Amino acid sequence: MWQALYEATRDHPFTVLAVALDQPEAARPWIEAASPSYPCLIDREHRMAELYNLVNVPQAVWIDENGRIVRPPETAGSTDTFRAMDRTTRTIAEDVLAEGRRVKAAYFDAVRDWAVRGAASPYAFNGDAVTARLRVPDAPIAEAHARFRLGQLLLQDGRTEEANAQFAQATRLHPDSWAMWRQSAPKDARGLASGDEFWKRVDALGERPYYPPADLDGPSNHGKG
């Protein structure tokens, strides 16, 4: 869908920049299989996550031509549809899938509207609305990112056990970061953290969402400013 959006907005000053928060050996096959024509980067040190306080994928940040954040980090069209899956048959009810498709389409329509209309789009937040929605990292989150960077350096030096200890501490300090947790989580044959440990962590959320829904309502909070 990102490729379709990119192609649909070629005549406007808009681009999609995809950044994978993962190791090259895990992310590259997916990028190569998709073969997108928009730029794709691999952020093995999670600098984007640290700069924008990203905690999961896919998340998106809308940034205008002046470098101003128009919408702070939010879930980019995904939903908790997967949580309704029958884990034995790995099937999901059609009405649940349909709702997931509706939410994804609505999000991409909002991005397209902004790409075409710019600041006039009702989905572009004003400065006050952006500030109200920004989550500023606190001291534990800042320390978590520092420990995550240290873990990356230790991993590159072949000190895997010490690296995993730092990743574990980072996750303890910043439990909302699924991106950090995935670094040392058990992986399947596809390189994805989708096994029993993942589901235990998802179940522990209770009523809290895995993918908090993006706010596409409330046009009174949008506009210039």
The pLDDT value given to residue 221: 46
Question: What's phi and psi for 70, nearest 5 deg?
Answer: -100, -35
Averaged confidence pLDDT in the chain: 90
3-class secondary structure, 42: strand
Taking 80 as the threshold, does the pLDDT of residue 134 lie above it? yes
Q: How far is it, in rounded angstroms, from Cα 174 to Cα 44?
A: 18
Query: Helical H runs in the chain?
Result: 2-8, 24-34, 47-52, 94-117, 127-133, 139-156, 160-173, 178-184, 196-203
The answer for residues whose C-beta is within 8 angstroms of residue 193's C-beta and 6 or more apart is: 181, 182, 185, 186, 187
Taking 90 as the threshold, does the pLDDT of residue 122 lie above it? yes
The pLDDT value given to residue 53: 92
**Predicted confidence (pLDDT) per residue in 76-86, tens digit:** 999 999 999 99
Taking 60 as the threshold, does the pLDDT of residue 220 lie above it? no
Taking 70 as the threshold, does the pLDDT of residue 10 lie above it? yes
Domain ranges, ordered by start, for the chain: 2-135, 139-203
**Predicted confidence (pLDDT) per residue in 141-191, tens digit:** 999 999 999 999 999 999 999 999 999 999 999 999 999 998 888 877 777
The pLDDT value given to residue 23: 67
Percent of the chain with pLDDT over 90: 75
Percent of the chain with pLDDT over 70: 95
CATH architecture assignment, domain 2-135 = 3-Layer(aba) Sandwich (3.40)
pTM over 0.85: yes
* Confidence category of residue 24, pLDDT binned at 50, 70, 90: low
